[in-house]
Amino acid sequence: MKYIIAAGLLQIIISLLLLCLNNRKEKSDYLLAAFLGAIGWHLLTKFFIFTSVENPSVIFRMHTFVQLSYGPLLYMYAKKKCNELFIPARLWFLFIPLIMSVTLYGCVVAAFITYPEKADLLLQLYNSLVFLPIVGAHIIFGALTLKKIKQTKIIEQQLLRNLSFLVILVGFADILLIIVSTSFPGYTLLVRSVLYTLLGLVPVLVIRYKYVAMPSEWQPDMKMLAFEGSDYAINTKFETQGTMLMPELKNTGIHRKLLLNNVQHQEIYRIIESFVKDKKLYADEDLSLEKLSALSGFSRHYISETLNVFAKKSFYQYINGYRVEEVIRLLGEENHENTSLLTVAYRSGFKNKASFNQHFKKVTGSTPSNYLKIKK
């Protein structure tokens, strides 16, 4: 069992290093890092207990308080992925049981040192107070996370689903551990091994999803984006066997691996269109890539890649294109004939005259004033 815990700790360290050193990390990744750190602390505590503590009561019966943070951290990570504007600090009260448990844990440890002969009584009191909150947090927040990701389409849905199931299973494993330790003590080590194996699977899933491969339904083809000056092209060819797409790289230029495949680009583009075009988000002069990411639930990296590859436009080219179309549409309406050109531009989402003139000419090939003359 010590080797299982040690292996889990090593995987936690690797996953945390990858998250911290990732140049493309998102704000939500800090919550994921905290979640992994909590599991790491749990495993580190257990490793210390199993290797250094001689009191059998402590070794086999003491619950670790940090487990109370698993559920809230996972749930907040899901909320942050679904809504980038979500502020985790607003749910601080979810950690009240953890704070109370930390205090109680410290008192129990101090009592062990001062009154070692009363270890059994102290452990019984401690475990009776923290067991139900720990199990309840695992199961309830795991279920809440599953419910949350069903309401919003996000790329990380499969990762969150798997993590939620693992947290729920850990809760049931804790229940099973109590039953086995009282009725079938010979199987206690086996159940504990299963429990720590489940915890060790968490960093494996994170590493697999973020740094090795995407889940099956979001598995990107092995494509490369080749940049040559300001032009770019996607060059792929099928293997003679199998369905995996392999890159056909050019000898010159800079190459960057795509995060998504063509089907995913189409789906994300369809959803972005529903927000920007149908709901006229382009009319918001403060619309940014981050705001669109928060509203749509997709990572800004995925949105940017989709627009660059699928729509062949940058984010602001895409948004300003719709703003120019809106200006042209409004100018064509009779009730806007006497409205100033700049007023129409502001209503369409442009923030200043220079930006309006620049993008209008880029889209139409004519300055706004010349366009009006031709139209008249």
Is 165 in contact with 142 (CB distance < 8 Å)? yes
The model's pTM: 0.60
pLDDT on residue 231: 36
Q: Which amino acid is at 159?
A: L
Catalogue the E-assigned strands of the chain: 224-228, 231-234, 236-238, 245-247, 254-257
* pLDDT, position 213: 47
| Structure tokens given for 153 | 């389409």
Nearest 5°: phi and psi at 370?
-65, -35
Residue 257, helix vs strand vs coil: strand
Residue 120 CA from chain centroid, whole number: 42
Distance of CA 172 to the CA centre of its chain: 25
Structure confidence at residue 152 (pLDDT) = 62
Q: Tell me how far apart the alpha carbons of residues 12 and 8 are, in angstroms, rounded to a whole number.
A: 6
Convert the pLDDT of each residue in 266-321 to its tens digit. 888 888 888 888 888 888 888 888 888 877 778 888 888 889 888 888 998 899 99
Tokens matching residue 31: 């919550």
Predicted pLDDT of residue 28 = 85
pLDDT at res. 296 = 78
Q: What confidence score (pLDDT) does residue 245 get?
A: 36
Mean pLDDT by 10 residues, the chain (376 residues): 90 92 79 95 89 65 86 94 82 94 86 78 84 95 92 73 95 92 86 93 89 46 33 34 35 57 84 84 84 80 87 88 88 67 86 87 86 75
Q: Give Cα 152 to chain centroid, integer Å.
A: 13
| Contact indicator for 347, 340 with CB cutoff of 8 Å | no
What was the pLDDT predicted at 253?
A: 45
Pairing relation of β-strands 224-228 and 231-234? Answer: antiparallel
Please give the domain boundaries of the chain with CATH numbers for all domains.
2-212 (1.20.1070), 224-257 (no CATH), 262-375 (1.10.10.60)
Model pLDDT, residue 24: 67
